[in-house]
Structure 1
Amino acid sequence: MTKKKILFIDDEPNILSGLKRMLRSIRKEFHLEFTESGKKALEIMEKHDFDVVVSDMRMPGMDGATLLAEIQKRYPYSIRIMLSGQANEESIMRTVGVVHQFLAKPCDPEYLKAVLLRVCALHDLMAHPSLKEMVSQLDTLPSLPKVYAKLRQAIANPDVPVSEIAAIIEEDMAMSAKVLQLVNSAFFGLFQKVESPARAVNLLGIDTVKNLVLGVGAFTEIKASSKVFPVKELWSHSLIVGNCAKKIAMTQSEDNDLIDNSFIAGLLHDIGKLVMLAKMDKLYEKTTLLAGEEGISLRSAEKRIFNAVHDDFGAYLMGLWGMPGPVIEAIGFHHRLDNYPDNKFSPAIAVHLANAFYYEKYPDTITTAPHAVNIPHLEAIGLSDNIEQWRELCSEILEQEGEL
């Protein structure tokens, strides 16, 4: 098996020496290279492909954010990690949309090794030859929704007023109307009429509204229609899975990043289906029909026709959009937890469970093999005792299917 190649960039020789010592035990599994500047890193990458790039933030000449933005442009298949002691609000916000993971120095050696193992597994999904072949057949890939990108930029300012966030949403009337429709549904249980985006932001919080905008934007900008595939129901399904995944995550952690990433990943877990349908509608309709006729899962039918599956495609697209690593991992692994190289609770597990609970409740919404909870995997990592609690927690949200 070919070793994964990882490039480390830091302008301090002592830091690089420390990393070499820290990672000595994984040299049999990885090919590691080290360099002291962004310029040298780009020169190295012109000659060799790297699966993962790990950069410091503050470096003379070309800083880490600038370097990783250039790598994103030139080598989109490379996973980008920021490992930096400059873990303040401003530096983190500069990496939004560029970095898959942000790790603060000093970083625990075992944690760093675990992250590297996980992102290399993710890279296998994003860089699979069959996926590359399918992507190469498309004329264009969807861009990150513009309103979301503008929101993300505004939120980089910790002092941004709610009125500015609301004004950005209101620039897109369709977006504004859809967000208000969702906020006023039973889905959020606010028990009061919300008549403006500003009020929605005040009640739900900037992060929740930002994530809603991303989901709405993705589903409106990626145009897809079909007589065979239920596109309209896909949005309702995705929103419910996102909310269930968030509720499940809240029982396991108070980490806001983990909770938010579970919601975003649930919202976008099937985005690969939407893109495949939008770009290859006839073939994807054929895939849907094949699954129904033979009683196999949609993923099995996708594999037969495309030699790739929607979760790989979704993970790839989210990588190009600059989503956080845990979101990409959840989208890529929610159907195959056995291949996920982590034994702790994660957004991938939250989305897997939420998706399975949805299809337990609404088996008639699919004509293919059901998505079952992976009980053996949850038993193996000590989480199986929580399944019934999570199922009960999601039952109330699942009752809202008809209201969205």
Structure 2
Amino acid sequence: MHVQKMLEQAHQLPSIPKVVQELLRDFDDPNVDAGKIAAKLQLDQALTAKVLRLANSSFYGGTRKVSSVNDAVVLLGVDSLRTMVAAGGVVAAFKAPEGFDLRAFWRKSFMVAGLCRWLVKRGKLRNLNAETAFTAGLLHDVGNLLMHALDGERMREVDAAVAAGAPRGDTEQMILGYTSVEIGGALASHWHFPDALCEAVVNQAAPMAARVPSEYAGLVHVARACHLLVIGKQPLDRLFSSAAAPVASWLELEQETLEEHWDEVAALGNDMDALLD
């Protein structure tokens, strides 16, 4: 079945809250007023709490006590707020599928997202936006989550095959007729995320082979490889002898520079709960 047709036939696609959609549109306005953003944020108590918590967290570099939404908006800035609002909206859109560890899923997604942002800041990718990279990482596996919600039985079959050593993409194609990254890209499009983010999700497995090579997809590709090193407690130099090495080279990521700042990665997860709770 074609991916778009499958989405159209789904009875209940996860939806992003209206206030989140409005805020994301506001962020695209170069003349948006911080007061307007603060006022709209305060319409949603959950978003208000997240903004204040993040403004006071080390994850966003908070160094003083922030008690008002207006001050938090000024401190965090538009890019960080866009990330927080997008993250809050995406997380809120999903209920936990039966037998699925939703919190573990989001912690992994946020870790990959944090690694995407870190790679932009520590690499030579000055033309890329660190917060857009973060959102690409956040969305990278959302198709997997959606398919567990819509077709849990067949996805459990996929998971069992992957656990036994089968490649995920080929297994999904054989069992489902499409891949979870295709579903994730279509869902991101359904939510009206920018094309660059949709393409990052779809092309993450082979970013250099896409019709238009996607650097954001490349970041996700490398960030996923870095995440495996983190959870396996392996040194960064393994990245440059892994299957992700050609993509890292294409993105001009330098081993010496990344190794110099590798200790920063351990701190990425410290405030993930601020985005999850």
Distance 1:179 1:305 in 2: 41
Q: Deviations over 1:215-265 (max 9, x none)?
A: 1111112222342x331022222222223212322332433x643321221
The equivalent of 1:209 in structure 2 is 81
CA distance in 2, matches of 1:234, 1:334: 18
Q: Does the 8 A contact of 2:114 with 2:134 survive in 1?
A: yes
- Counterpart of 2:145 in structure 1 is 274
Q: Indicate whether 1:287 and 2:158 are aligned.
A: yes
Match of 1:386 in 2: 254
Identity percentage of aligned residues? 27
Greater relative CO (CA pairs within 8 A, separation 6+)? 2
Match of 1:240 among 75, 90, 111: 111
CA distance in 2, matches of 1:403, 1:392: 22
Deviations 1:74-98 (A, max 9, x none): xxxxxxxxxxxxxxxxxxxxxxxxx
Match of 2:237 in 1: none
- TM-score, normalising length from structure 1? 0.57
**Is 1:231 matched up with 2:102?**
yes
Deviation track 1:133-184 (CA, whole Å, cap 9, x = no partner) reads 5435421323343222211343455443323212222222123223433443
Identify if the C-alpha distance between structure 1 residues 252 and 224 changes in structure 2 by more than 3 Å, giving closer, same or farther. same
2:125–2:251: 8 Å Cα contact kept in structure 1?
A: no
The answer to whether 1:308 aligns with 2:146 is no
Deviation at 1:342, TM superposition (A): 4.7
Partner of 1:347: 216
Which amino acid in the other structure matches residue 397 of structure 1?
A: V
* Larger-gyration structure (1/2): 1
TM-score scaled by structure 2?
Answer: 0.80
Structure 2 CA distance, aligned partners of 1:339 and 1:390? 25
- Tell me what 2:231 maps to: 362
1:262 and 2:130 aligned: no
List per-residue Cα deviations over 1:261-303 (Å, max 9, x = no partner): 21221121122122222222333334323322x1334444433
Q: Secondary structure at the match of 1:148?
A: helix
Q: Which amino acid aligns with 1:305?
A: I
Structure 2 match to 1:331 = 201
The answer for unaligned runs of 5 or more in structure 1 is 1-128, 365-371
Is the CA contact 1:144–1:321 (under 8 Å) kept in the aligned structure 2?
yes
Two-structure CA RMSD over aligned residues (Å)? 2.9
Say which SS state the counterpart of residue 295 (structure 1) adopts: coil
2:229 aligned partner, one-letter code: E
Q: Does the aligned pair in 2 maintain the 1:147–1:217 contact within 8 Å?
A: no
Could you list the per-position Cα deviations for residues 307-343 of structure 1 after superposition, in whole angstroms to 9, with x for gaps in the alignment?
2222111111112222222211111111222422456
Alignment of 1:4-403 (within 5 A): 130-132=2-4, 134-155=6-27, 157-227=29-99, 229-250=100-121, 251-255=123-127, 258-292=129-163, 294-342=164-212, 346-363=215-232, 373-379=243-249, 381=250, 383=252, 386-387=254-255, 389-390=257-258, 393=261, 395-401=263-269, 403=271
The answer to whether the 8 A contact 2:59-2:270 is kept is no
SS at match of 1:252: coil
For residues 167 and 336 of structure 1, do their structure 2 counterparts lie closer, same or farther at Cα, with a shift above 3 Å needed? same
Deviation at 1:402, TM superposition (A): 5.3
Q: Where is the helix percentage greater, Structure 1 or Structure 2? A: 2
Unmatched segments (≥5 aa) in structure 2: 234-241, 273-277
| Aligned residue pair count | 263
